Amino acid sequence: MLNEKEMLDRAVTLGQEVLALSDAAGQSLASVHIHTGLEILRTHASAIDTTVNSSTDRP
């Protein structure tokens, strides 16, 4: 089973594909919302990276 970081990374990858499709279809409003969702997913993924990296730096 995928961990949370792996799921977020997969969601970002899929979201980027959906964004490209939305752009190609000329759905600019949908693209804006998808982009916003991608930014949220990336922020959460980054927070997990920061948490994991800071916990591994501890003795």
Cβ burial of 37 (10 Å; 0-12, 13-18, 19+) is: middle
Q: Is the pTM of this model over 0.75?
A: yes
d(CA 24, CA 31) in angstroms, rounded, equals 10
Longest dimension (CA), the chain: 52
Contacts of 16 (CB under 8 A, 6+ apart): 38
10-54 confidence digits (pLDDT tens): 999 999 999 999 999 999 999 999 999 999 999 999 999 888 777
